[in-house]
Amino acid sequence: MSFTNITGSIKEVPKPKEVKRTRFEDIQRTATKTKRVMYPISAIVGQEMMLRALILNAINPSIGGVLIRGQKGTAKSTAVRGLAEILPEIEVIGGCKYNCDPLDPEKFCWECNDKQKKGMIKIEKAPMKVVDLPVGATEDRVVGSLDIEKAVKEGVQAFEPGILANANRNLLYVDEINLLDDFVVDALLDAAAMGVNTVEREGVSVSHPANFIIVGSMNPEEGELRPQLLDRIALQVEVEGIADIEQRIEIIERRNQFNKDPQQFRRDFENEQEKLRTRIIKAKQLLGRITTTRENLRTIAQICVAFNVDGHRADIMIERTARTNAAYENRERITNEDIIEAAEMVLPHRMRKKPFEEEEFSAEQLRAVVNGTV
């Protein structure tokens, strides 16, 4: 038997260099990091009543939200999204998905209840935010999803929170609110009535706090809002294009400046933004000291009777709004002007009307009732 000698050196063949491919998920993740540059709310020209309604809700969330009705291109969405930058900070429990209030243990979610038992409550401060509810959102996206198989084995950990969880103690914004699907409207009604969102699937039930300020915007030409939801929203304001020539010119100039250099435009209005932010914080501090006299309540009751409104919700909302307006104006007592301004936002969508008749709200009649000339 013969053997063949093999001579030479053995070299390790280099492995081909791996080329890292960019996945679509990575592209999405990078894209979502782009920060949206907001138009400052203090730079909006005109539309004083809309801005006042939004600010009053920021000061006193118990007012109960606002519906903004009007034509396209009247700064409805711009105002709501711009509000996020001047909203005050709130105290939350660290790590809580539902923004639980550390001063209100009765409304803790199950996770915060568990933390409380273990003495692991950590209090943090976080800014209030505007949470968007898209018109085409699915039911699971709105109320949350529940994995039944995991729920049986693992309990509530199988619950994936939805938009209503994120909106707790924040501002929930629904653009084109009149186009919402019925199941979303029902979910909003339930949460607005109880302050709790409950998800039930095949005998498994999960609940969490869902107390939010609802802000809706709509174009009436595209259809009306369901009466049940309309009744739940405290204030309503009508916006339309501004007729004043100089103001229209100012709108064009400011928009051009913003488009040319958004950051510089924002810097130009930072002082106005800070003034508004400070004014809101001071109003929140003053709100608890505002007094409502029996004469104020009598005036409010007389207004609601004169305008033939249904129920007593309008009376309550006028009082809350008038009290908040007084705080915003740095007064400790409610005046008739506060009541008038509140009633102008509360009454128009609450007046009882006959079939085939349109609601007719008269500011002149309102002042006449308050002044006792009716």
In a domain, 221, yes or no: yes
Which of 200, 223, 239 is the C-terminal boundary of a domain?
239
| CA 240 to each of CA 73, 194, 343: distance values in angstroms, whole numbers, following the listed order | 9, 34, 20
> Would you say 229 and 185 are in contact if contact means Cβ atoms under 8 Å apart?
yes
Q: Are strands 204-209 and 159-160 parallel, antiparallel or unpaired?
A: unpaired
> Would you say 139 and 60 are in contact if contact means Cβ atoms under 8 Å apart?
no
Examine the domain organization and report whether 219 and 344 are in the same domain.
no
| Domain harbouring 333, CATH code | 1.10.8.80
Examine the domain organization and report whether 207 and 315 are in the same domain.
no
In a domain, 249, yes or no: no
> Would you say 41 and 51 are in contact if contact means Cβ atoms under 8 Å apart?
yes
3-state secondary structure of 228: helix
Give the pLDDT of residue 13.
44
| Domain harbouring 199, CATH code | 3.40.50.300
Give the pLDDT of residue 359.
53
> Would you say 289 and 324 are in contact if contact means Cβ atoms under 8 Å apart?
no
HSE value, Cβ hemisphere, 13 Å, CA-based, for 88: 19
Which of 173, 206, 239 is the C-terminal boundary of a domain?
239
Length of the chain: 374
In a domain, 333, yes or no: yes
Examine the domain organization and report whether 198 and 309 are in the same domain.
no
In a domain, 140, yes or no: yes
Rg of the chain taking only CA atoms, in angstroms: 27
Which of 215, 239, 263 is the C-terminal boundary of a domain?
239
Examine the domain organization and report whether 133 and 204 are in the same domain.
yes
In a domain, 132, yes or no: yes
Q: Which residues pair with 333 in a beta bridge?
A: 291
Please tell me the pTM assigned to this model: 0.80
Looking at 255, 313, 331, 367, which residue is catalytic? Answer: 313
In a domain, 20, yes or no: no
Q: Tell me which amino acid residue 301 is.
A: A
Examine the domain organization and report whether 201 and 317 are in the same domain.
no
Examine the domain organization and report whether 67 and 180 are in the same domain.
yes
In a domain, 33, yes or no: no
Give the pLDDT of residue 20.
45
Give the pLDDT of residue 207.
81
In a domain, 121, yes or no: no
Our answer to whether residue 201 is catalytic in this structure is no
| Domain range enclosing 357 | 294-371
Examine the domain organization and report whether 219 and 333 are in the same domain.
no
Q: Spell out the per-residue pLDDT of the chain, length 374, in tens.
A: 444 444 444 444 454 444 444 444 344 444 445 567 888 888 888 888 999 999 999 899 888 889 998 888 888 888 888 888 888 888 888 888 888 888 888 888 878 888 888 888 888 888 888 888 888 888 888 888 776 666 566 655 577 888 888 888 888 998 888 888 888 888 888 787 778 888 777 666 778 888 888 898 888 888 888 887 888 888 999 888 888 899 999 999 999 999 999 999 999 999 999 999 999 999 999 998 998 999 999 999 998 888 888 888 899 999 999 999 999 999 989 999 999 999 999 988 776 554 444 556 666 777 777 776 65
Examine the domain organization and report whether 201 and 305 are in the same domain.
no
> Would you say 321 and 63 are in contact if contact means Cβ atoms under 8 Å apart?
yes
Examine the domain organization and report whether 80 and 225 are in the same domain.
yes
Q: Which residues pair with 197 in a beta bridge?
A: 208
Give the pLDDT of residue 161.
84
Examine the domain organization and report whether 68 and 165 are in the same domain.
yes
Examine the domain organization and report whether 204 and 304 are in the same domain.
no
> How many domains are there within the chain?
2
